[in-house]
């Protein structure tokens, strides 16, 4: 046996683990090279007591190690193993200690320590990742449950709202009723000062809030300027003098959500939360969609109000631009263009009618042909005060923007590059939203007059709506061209043949359409 001892020692020295043999009292009988090289204290460990060295540590892991080794020595178990952390000269590591009997009838045991740092760290990372995923799943489930409830409640409130003020108030109330939101109000632009003022809020939210033009860095001001959601995740970033600190001093985060529909701003929803992470990326997407829904509801109510309101708002606007054809034609040719109406051709094009005075027909047609937005331009007829033209365009921006805000175009006169627009809106319409929407398209938009008046019991819109429902597209076009072109004047400024040619139909067919439209018009007047 002794002749094999050098070979056994050599074999143990080559193993990648720290090995020691202990007798029944814990005295170290043998250590391999890895054990000796592990640390200076264990270099001369042979003959010392292993338990004494462990006991000096005095921690829970040491107690478990001693108890485990003794249980193997006493024959209570044939294998004991323990994973434990250890601070070494090379940094913190993890080891696996395994203890087995050296022989079946002896008290000696073999203690082996294997470096498992790489494997253990991988396990710990996996466990940490699993905990993170579990926490993320719980947060996501909570977010879905909370936001679904908020969306459901807001949608229900929108369905029951009768006015735009009802919408704004209901939205604020629903936000405050949902965790973790603690306060909500809506800001809008004050037409007189250009600043932001509170227009609606939750029951305990003050609405006499004002954010002046001198605070462009305010989140609400930024949201108004950019029409993009603004989030503050740490309220310490907001100055103590800010209205937000005064309105909700306990808030930990806030969001300023623009209410935008059809490129129009209907206010800024300001929401405060008592959690700093309340507005994460996923929630922001949902909030932005909710903001568009709220704005669309306000837009629909304001358009409907134009037909049913007891009062209407008359506005006059001055619009200037370079590059849009009606502005350039009036300026370059020194003429005046008067809008006579628009007829939809299909889903993508409209036929615009204008009368022009003070310019040559051919010069106007030649310059109009240079604009890509005009797919066709035609001279219909001449009369004493000017000429009648029609333009086929993809989208008339002034008229369509007014319509999208529930407005009706009363007149447009363009001279020297400036358009004077008269329009009518519902009594509670958001005029600032209309001006902002027009400003997105044109260089200069100025509100020069604002008047409120009572709507007559029998509205023009109701009469026109009934008549338009009766007319075919051809009948409407024939009637509108005849009116704008001066066909009904005496002497006639335009002949039926000219109007028929502009519609690319025969004179007899044109007169059939015109007479049918006239008959329906007279029927509406006398038979109702």
Instruction: Provide CB contacts within 8 A for 127, sequence distance 6+.
Output: none
pLDDT value at residue 208: 66
Contact between 455 and 357 under an 8 Å Cβ cutoff? The reply is no
| Structure confidence at residue 75 (pLDDT) | 87
The residue out of 404, 436, 455 marking a domain boundary is 455
Q: pTM for the full model?
A: 0.46
pLDDT in tens, 212-227: 665 777 888 888 888 8
Q: Are residues 437 and 448 in the same domain?
A: yes
Q: Are residues 256 and 212 in the same domain?
A: yes
Count of structural domains, the chain: 4
Indicate if 197 and 327 belong to the same structural domain.
no
Q: 457 pLDDT band (50/70/90 cuts)?
A: very low
State residue 485's pLDDT score: 73
**How many angstroms separate the CA atoms of 166 and 160, rounded?**
9
Asked, as a colleague might, if the bond just before 419 is cis with ω within 30 of 0, I would say: no
Last residue of a domain, one of 405, 440, 455: 455
**Residues 99-122: what's their mean pLDDT?**
86
- Residue 256: inside a domain, yes or no? yes
Domain boundary among 81, 115, 149: 115
CATH code, domain carrying 102: 3.30.450.20
Banded model confidence at residue 496, pLDDT cuts 50, 70, 90: confident
pLDDT at 334: 92
Beta bridge partners of 381: 388
What is the per-residue pLDDT across 125-143, written as a single tens digit (0 to 9) for each?
888 888 887 777 766 666 6
CA distance 384 to 433: 40
Q: What share of the chain is helix, strand, coil (3-state, %, to 5)?
A: 40, 30, 30
Q: Does 439 share its domain with 460? A: no
Would you say 416 and 405 are in contact if contact means Cβ atoms under 8 Å apart? no
Do 450 and 461 lie in one domain? The reply is no
Residue 91 falls in which region: left (phi positive, over 0), alpha (psi -120 to 50) or beta: left
Structural domain harbouring 198: 137-308
Q: For residue 65, give the H/E element and its range.
A: helix 60-73
**Structure tokens that stand for 282 in this block:** 């996923």
If you average pLDDT over each of 59-63, 83-87, 192-196, 413-417, which comes out highest?
413-417
Q: What is the pLDDT of residue 419?
A: 93
* pLDDT at residue 239 tops 50: yes
* pLDDT, position 234: 85
Rounded distance, CA 450 to CA 421, Å? 12
Q: Are residues 413 and 477 in the same domain?
A: no
Strand order in the sheet with 336-344: 374-383, 386-393, 350-357, 336-344, 408-415, 418-426, 311-320, 444-454
Q: Is residue 126 part of a domain?
A: no
Is 120 contained in some domain?
A: no
Residues 67, 98 within the same domain = yes
In tens, the pLDDT along 42-79 reads: 456 788 888 876 655 557 888 888 889 999 998 889 99
pLDDT value, residue 362 = 92
Evaluate if residue 9 carries a pLDDT over 80. Answer: no
Range with top average pLDDT, 180-189, 417-426, 452-461: 417-426
Residue 510 placed within a domain: yes
Minimum mean pLDDT range among 39-43, 232-236, 310-314, 382-386 = 39-43
Q: Return the closest-CA partner of residue 200 out of 189, 211, 212, 184.
A: 184
Q: Which of 289, 286, 254 is nearest to 183 (CA)?
A: 254
Tens-digit pLDDT profile for residues 143-156: 666 666 677 777 77
Q: Is residue 496 part of a domain?
A: yes
Both 392 and 474 in one domain: the answer is no
Show Cβ contacts of residue 64 under 8 Å, excluding neighbours closer than 6 positions: 82
Q: How many CB atoms lie within 10 A of CB 400?
A: 15
Instruction: Give the percent of the chain with pLDDT over 90.
Output: 12
**Which tokens in the block code for residue 281?**
């990326």
- Phi and psi at 397, nearest 5°, equal -60, -40
Are 448 and 469 found together in one domain? Answer: no
Residues 400 and 484 in one domain: no
Q: Are residues 289 and 323 in the same domain?
A: no
- Name the strand (E) or helix (H) holding 115: strand 109-115
What is the torsional sign of CA 341, 345, 347, 352? Answer: negative
Segment 97-119 shows an average pLDDT of 87
CA gap 503, 505 in Å, rounded: 6
Each residue of 155-190: b (16+ CB within 10 Å) or e? eebbeebeebebbbbbbbbbbbebebbbbbbbbbbb
Give percent of the chain with pLDDT exceeding 70.
Answer: 84
Predicted confidence (pLDDT) per residue in 149-175, tens digit: 677 777 777 777 778 888 888 888 888
Evaluate whether residue 273 is within a structural domain: yes
Q: In which band, very low, low, confident or very high, does the pLDDT at 528 lie, cut at 50, 70 and 90?
A: very low
Question: Given this model, what pLDDT does residue 526 score?
Answer: 47
- Mean pLDDT of the residues in the chain: 81
Considering the domain architecture, whether residues 155 and 267 belong to the same structural domain is answered as yes
């Amino acid at each position: 046996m002794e002749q094999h001892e050098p070979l056994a020692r050599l074999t143990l020295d080559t193993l990648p683990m720290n090995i020691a043999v202990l007798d029944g009292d814990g005295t170290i009988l043998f250590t391999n090279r890895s054990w000796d090289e592990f640390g200076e204290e264990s270099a001369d460990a042979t003959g010392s007591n292993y338990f004494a060295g462990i006991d000096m540590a005095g921690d829970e892991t040491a107690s478990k190690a001693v108890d485990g080794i003794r249980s193997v020595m006493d024959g209570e178990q044939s294998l004991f193993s323990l994973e434990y952390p250890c601070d070494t000269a090379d940094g913190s590591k993890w080891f696996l200690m395994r203890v087995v009997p050296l022989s079946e009838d002896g008290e000696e045991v073999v203690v082996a320590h294997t470096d498992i740092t790489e494997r253990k760290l991988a396990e710990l990372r996996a466990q940490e990742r699993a905990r993170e995923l579990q926490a993320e799943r719980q947060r996501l489930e909570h977010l879905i449950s909370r936001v679904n409830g908020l969306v459901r409640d807001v949608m229900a409130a929108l369905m029951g709202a009768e006015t735009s003020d009802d919408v704004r108030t209901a939205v604020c109330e629903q936000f405050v009723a949902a965790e973790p939101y603690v306060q909500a109000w809506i800001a809008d632009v004050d037409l007189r000062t250009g600043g932001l003022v509170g227009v609606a809020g939750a029951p305990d939210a003050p609405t006499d809030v004002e954010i002046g033009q001198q605070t462009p860095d305010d989140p609400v001001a930024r949201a108004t300027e950019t029409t993009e959601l603004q989030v503050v995740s740490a309220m310490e970033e907001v100055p103590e003098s800010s209205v937000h600190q005064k309105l909700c001093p306990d808030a930990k985060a806030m969001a300023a959500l623009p209410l935008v529909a059809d490129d129009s701003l209907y206010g800024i929803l300001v929401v405060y939360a008592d959690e700093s992470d309340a507005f994460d990326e996923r929630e922001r997407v949902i909030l932005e969609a909710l903001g568009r829904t709220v704005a669309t509801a306000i837009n629909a109510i304001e358009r409907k109000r134009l037909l049913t309101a007891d009062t209407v708002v008359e506005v006059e606007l001055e619009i200037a631009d370079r590059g849009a054809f009606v502005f350039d034609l009036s300026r370059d040719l020194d003429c005046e263009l008067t809008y006579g109406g628009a007829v939809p051709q299909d889903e993508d094009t409209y036929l615009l009618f204008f009368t022009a005075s003070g310019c040559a027909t051919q010069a106007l047609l030649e310059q109009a042909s240079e604009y890509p937005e005009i797919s066709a331009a035609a001279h219909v007829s001449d009369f004493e005060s000017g000429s009648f033209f029609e333009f086929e365009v993809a989208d008339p921006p002034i008229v369509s923007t007014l319509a999208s805000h529930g407005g009706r175009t009363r007149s447009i006169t363009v001279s020297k590059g400036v358009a004077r627009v008269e329009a009518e809106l519902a009594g509670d319409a958001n005029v600032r939203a209309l001006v902002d929407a027009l400003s997105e398209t044109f260089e200069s938009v100025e509100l020069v007059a604002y008047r409120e008046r009572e709507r007559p019991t029998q509205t023009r819109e109701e009469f026109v709506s009934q008549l338009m429902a009766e007319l075919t597209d051809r009948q409407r076009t024939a009637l509108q061209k005849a009116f704008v072109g001066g066909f009904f004047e005496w002497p006639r400024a335009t002949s039926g043949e000219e109007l028929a040619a502009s519609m690319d139909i025969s004179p007899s067919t044109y007169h059939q359409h015109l007479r049918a439209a006239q008959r329906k018009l007279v029927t509406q007047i006398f038979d109702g």
